[in-house]
Structure 1
Amino acid sequence: MRIDLHTHSSVSDGTRPPAEVMRRAAAAGVDVVALTDHDTTRGWDEARAALPDGLTLVPGMELSCELDGRSLHLLGYWFDPDDPALNAELARVQASRDSRGRAMVERLRELGSSVTWEQVERIADGARVGRPHIARALIEAGTVASMDEAFTKDWIGTDGRAHVTRYALDPATAIGLVRDAGGVSVLAHPRARRGKYVFDDDAIRGLAAAGLTGVEIDHPGHEPADRAALRALADELGLVGTGSSDDHGELTGDRIGCETTAADAYERLLAAVPAR
């Protein structure tokens, strides 16, 4: 069984609609796929309606969190999308995304770019605006030549000249919200050095103590040594180790299924889902 527990659609910062993500997962030989768009569940219904025979959908989301002043991403699965407490926090996150995006575009224009908010909204095509949409607008405007160049300190990278912070959840709070909504949580790509999503063992121990269920180990951004270290830590803490593509469509080379979760790990995640 091939299980990919981390993918994105055009509902957030992926380039493929949810229905196409499902079709591509089936074509890649995946049996179970999670749709985990950033801070939203809007793609779930479309994904469910388009499920090919033999493909199981894990409804999920990637929550924007912050720990010690750094961005941390938390994957939530099987929670109630109508949970009031969780939705109240998501509304704050989403409102902050919008205001942040407008502020970043304003800074970029002050720096000499011709990028406009209308251009960014067109690229987002109804999705909540994120930095990848702004980066694509920068390329379209001729300000930068690539996504990598956009995500530097010269432009919209962390601590970049046009970077603007936004509201994000405390991860321990997010873990509790997901649990109370009937779901389980997995720490996303904690050793993705290129993206600067690097958290040490003590940070992961703290999240485990707060109720974290698993940690993403086999991820395209993780080096072999980091995977081995995370696997040992997961065993020590009793965390479920997962594997995922973190596919964003064209932005990541349509890589659904390039990393997968073992069947026994998937069963452990399912068994950890709180009874409703």
Structure 2
Amino acid sequence: MLRIPQTRYDLALLLDRLTIEGGVDLHLHSSCSDGAKTPQEVARSAKRNRLRAFALTDHDTMAGVVEAKEAAGDDILFFPGIECSAVDLGSEVHILGYFSRLFVSEIEAYLEERRRDRHDRNRRMLSKLRTLGYPIDEDSLTAYGGKGNASVGRVHMALWLVDYGGCESISDAFRALLSEGRPAYVPRPRHSIREVTNVIAKAQGVSVLAHPAQYGWCRCPEHPSTRTRLLERIMRCKNAGIDGVECFHGEATEEERRLLFDVTTELDLIRTAGSDDHGRVDTHAPMYFGSTRFV
């Protein structure tokens, strides 16, 4: 059975090697943030899918990693992880952090600050929703998760709006009310990529840029200009401390994946794969399988 290395360098190499070999899923969410399954259920699904390795990467919290590891046992390699928001040239991007330890004290103060930001934003968005005629409060969200150090956000509001607010789906709730520019939206403080990668590096973690295709960076992948701009963008992220790129995201097309793989390889960064499964039938892709191959 493989063991997770203790150094950042070796951890990065292992993440890359496992991705190239296939059968891994390094981007999964649980009910500790905006996923539908408990950490134990995520681990059991990973085992049922016969994955060789998986990571739990909840938003702004590592509250579920111990439970996921216990449920995984020694039958499957588990990476404790995190997903944090950052800003690149004014636009939001997400950074995945991977660690060798279940308890990462060096990052907890940062995560607690992020959770306070989320709580403040939730309070303001809920106030806007009530003004718009939706009788929702903070207690309403706990029915959809959010206990302890769990991370509550817009997805939980969307789930309430589907059940009680007349929205047809999570996507419908975001389009109508919760996305940027919509009536209930409130921005929250964002840190630079460098600030996020510094926090992860100080905890001996590995930083990976999540799902670049979702930012529109790979649009028209067959055009030479797309490759040129993508090189510039990922080089900027590398200079800000990024160790790798999630080349094989669940919602990326084959053409986008190939472009990201080629550019990431050219820039000597590690390549990772993650479905971004949230455990429910929605806009997110389902969990990968042990038979899934990426290259």
TM-score by length of 2: 0.80
Classify the secondary structure of the residue corresponding to 2:144: helix
Cα deviation digits, residues 66-111 of structure 1 (max 9, x gap): 2223221101101554344x32221211101011111111111112
Q: Does 1:142 align with 2:141?
A: no
**Are positions 1:37 and 2:58 aligned together?**
yes
Residue 220 of structure 1 deviates from its aligned partner by 1.9
The residue number in structure 2 matching 1:209 is 239
C-alpha distance 197-229 of structure 1, shift in aligned 2 (>3 A): closer
Q: How far apart, in 2, do the equivalents of 1:87 and 1:204 lie?
A: 27
Deviation at 1:193, TM superposition (A): 5.3
Partner of 1:167: helix, strand, or coil?
coil
Distance 1:254 1:23, change over 3 A: farther
For the aligned residue pairs, the C-alpha RMSD in angstroms reads 2.6
Structure 2: unaligned runs, 5 residues or longer: 1-21, 220-228
Aligned partner of 1:273 in structure 2 is none
Match of residue 124 from structure 1: 145
| Counterpart residue number, 1:97 | 118
The one-letter amino acid of 1:202's match is E
Equivalences for residues 155-170 of structure 1 within 5 A: 155-170=177-192
The match for 2:278 is: 248
Instruction: Tell me the secondary structure at the aligned position of residue 123 of structure 1.
Output: coil
In 2: Cα distance, 1:223 partner to 1:254 partner: 12
Q: Is the 8 A contact 2:87 2:191 kept in 1?
A: yes
* 1-structure distance, mates of 2:218, 2:258: 17
Aligned equivalent of 1:19: 40
Equivalences for 1:77-88 in 2 at 5 Å?
77-78=98-99, 81-84=103-106, 86-88=107-109
1:175 deviation in Å?
1.1
Which aligned segments of 4 or more residues in structure 1 are displaced greater than 4 angstroms? 196-200, 251-254, 258-263
2:91 pairs, out of 28, 45, 70, with 70
- Call closer, same or farther: CA 1:163–1:191 in 2, change over 3 Å: same
For structure 1, which segment, 182-191 or 215-224, has the greater mean C-alpha deviation from structure 2 after superposition? Answer: 215-224
SS at match of 1:191: helix
Q: Is the 8 A contact 2:57 2:80 kept in 1?
A: yes
Offset from partner CA, 1:166-211 (integer Å, 9 cap, x none): 12221111112211211111100011258x9999442321111223
Corresponding position: 1:2 with 2:20: no
CA distance in 1, matches of 2:260, 2:157: 33
Deviations 1:97-127 (A, max 9, x none): 0111111111111122233322122222413
Question: 1:204 is matched by which residue type in structure 2?
Answer: I
- The residue number in structure 2 matching 1:270 is none
Q: Read off the aligned partner of 1:9 and give its amino acid letter.
A: S
Change (3 A) 1:22 1:58: same
SS of the residue aligned with 2:116?
Answer: helix
Q: Is the partner of 2:94 in helix, strand or coil?
A: strand
Higher relative contact order (CA 8 A, sep 6+): 2
Structure 1 stretches lacking a partner, 5+ long: 266-276
Q: 1:69 to 1:147 in 2, by over 3 A?
A: same
Q: How does 1:222-233 map to 2 (within 5 A)?
A: 222-233=252-263
Identify the residue that residue 189 of structure 1 maps to in structure 2: 211
| Secondary structure at 1:48 match in 2 | helix
Which residue in 1 is equivalent to 2:201?
A: 179
Alpha-carbon separation, structure 2, partners of 1:42 and 1:156: 25
Q: Percent identity?
A: 33
Displacement of 1:259: 9.3
Contact map agreement 2:97 2:206 (CA 8 A) in 1: yes
Give the SS at the match of 1:113.
coil
